[in-house]
Amino acid sequence: MAKYSYGELRQSYATLWKAMKIPAGIRLRATDARVDAIATGKPRYDQVANATGVPWYVIGMIHEMEGGLNFATHLHNGDPLTHRTVQVPAGRPPTGIPPFQWEESAIDALTLEGFAAVKLWTIERIAYQLEAYNGWGYRSRNTGVNTPYLWSATNNYQKGKFVRDGVFDPNAVSGQIGAMALLRRLIDIEGVNVPAEEDVPLPDTPPPSIEPNLAKQPYPGAVVRLNHPDPAVVMLLQQRLNQVGCWSKIDAKGKAVPLDVDGDFGQLTASAVKLFQARSLDSDGKPLSVDGTVGRTTWSALFGTTVVATTPSRAPADELLRRVIDVAASEEQQRIREVPLGSNRGPRVDQYLRAAGIDPNTGSYPWCASFIVWCFDNAARGLGLTSPVPRTAGVHDMWQKAGRAGFRRIAYEAVIGDPSQVQPGHVFFIDTGEGHGHTGLVVGCSGNDFHTIEGNTNELGGREGIGVFARTRPVRQATLGFVEFAAR
């Protein structure tokens, strides 16, 4: 989604918002009518808001823009709920059986687009997320037009629109009410409270003078979190948070004051970390995860130190792991797909399933773990070895059996602290909830990202997909961790 970073667009959104006016007359009346309709759907939007953390009014605005407030359509793109989505993003939701419930599909849409990860919903952030949701075409094609998806019905937009995919007409005029016009009237009429970035509370007292010796402090080698055992590290962290004005302690007069530099990583320090994370970007210009823990990425943003040097991936020392990467790459190059798409079946997919002990004729089975079993089987056979991978089609089962068998497992917490531990040949594991998961093979690494070949996925990297694809993921997505199935 992030073709442009929030940091580089934030000020332009603030400027446009301050200058924005909705002309009196028919446009204003039409905007108010749609806002009234959005408010009517609030009980249903609240259900999705409770599941995702996305404000109800943001959900309502997307529903208006994508589906005209029709609860019989997908929030992703307005396709009917009677089938999975056909337009981009296609094949959503990837699980479940149509017809879908609107709330179920909406949660999938917001999670897919990263909305559920946003913790601080300012005016500028809303503009950024919604433009990204609709697409960056007005910027990337250098049209010179503020996207009507945001600004139609305001003085920030006059004419010019994409009349169909890839075709821009400079004289066409959007008849849709832009999302920022809706937001303005939601604030005015419905009383929703949406701060601008400049209105986010900051400390009332100037921060302590900067001590040069706090800059460029090396990462301590472990995630710093609640009840961290090293008070010296915590004191360093507390001093730096005070320096940058991230104060979560409130005095008797209701003013924010610096943290006590006492070496105790308690709730106040965790809240100060979250405040810093909500305001900051990583070295790639992406928002930090707001979780109150200080791993290598947050430490880098706070102290200005290098996160992970981006170096060419090293080939695994273990011959089996090198061969597994070759086998998986061959499957990806052959563009293995389900037949028919969405069926969890196909000549090659059936082979994957059988390798994990599943008879594909007895039902419809997710096959990402089976793909790993098959790849290791073929690689091991070519070397005259026995595959070390547990013969199971279950992601969680494979993760647990790997631990019981004594294979090296790198837990999520350790990887967040040091992404350089992830190496080609490792197998990643993601917990997707409700006992489900996703897995795939790491074939390369760069900084905070790892490159993969995965089965039962799609071009967007989802589970329960349609084929074998090459993907790139941030290390934080591997919520269980990684396993090194080296030969024994």
**What is the C-alpha to C-alpha distance for residues 111 and 128, in angstroms, rounded to an integer?**
16
Higher pLDDT, 370 or 112: 370
Higher pLDDT, 246 or 360: 360
Domains of the chain, earliest start first: 6-198 (no CATH), 202-303 (1.10.101.10), 319-484 (3.90.1720.10)
DSSP string, 85-146: --SSSTT-SSSS-SSPPHHHHHHHHHHHTTGGG-----HHHHHHHHHHHH-SHHHHTT----
Mean pLDDT across the chain:
86
Is the pTM above the cut of 0.75? no
Band (pLDDT 50/70/90 cuts) for residue 207 is very low
**What is the C-alpha to C-alpha distance for residues 413 and 400, in angstroms, rounded to an integer?**
17
HEC states along 296-364? Answer: HHHHHHHHCCCCCCCCCCCCCCCHHHHHHHHHHHHHHHCCCECCCCCCCCCHHHHHHHHHCCCCHHHCC
**What is the C-alpha to C-alpha distance for residues 278 and 244, in angstroms, rounded to an integer?**
13
Task: Give residues with Cβ within 8 angstroms of 186, minimum separation 6.
Answer: 35, 38, 39, 57, 60, 61, 192
Strands of 152-281 (E only): list them: 161-164, 167-169, 249-250, 256-257
Q: Report the b/e string of 398-423 with b at 16+ CB within 10 A.
A: bbbbbeeeebebbebebbbbbbebbb
Worst-scoring range by mean pLDDT, 57-66, 364-373, 468-477?
A: 468-477
pLDDT digits (tens, 9 = 90+) for 252-308: 666 667 888 888 888 889 888 888 877 777 766 667 777 888 888 888 888 876 444
Band (pLDDT 50/70/90 cuts) for residue 313 is low
Band (pLDDT 50/70/90 cuts) for residue 208 is very low
Query: What is the structure's pLDDT at 204?
Result: 43
**What is the C-alpha to C-alpha distance for residues 431 and 477, in angstroms, rounded to an integer?**
9
Structure token digits, residue 355:
């390798």
Query: What is the structure's pLDDT at 210?
Result: 43
Q: In the predicted model, is pLDDT for residue 463 greater than 60?
A: no
Query: What is the structure's pLDDT at 206?
Result: 41
Q: In the predicted model, is pLDDT for residue 211 greater than 70?
A: no
Worst-scoring range by mean pLDDT, 208-217, 332-341, 440-449?
A: 208-217
Ranges 16-20, 223-227, 360-364, most confident: 16-20
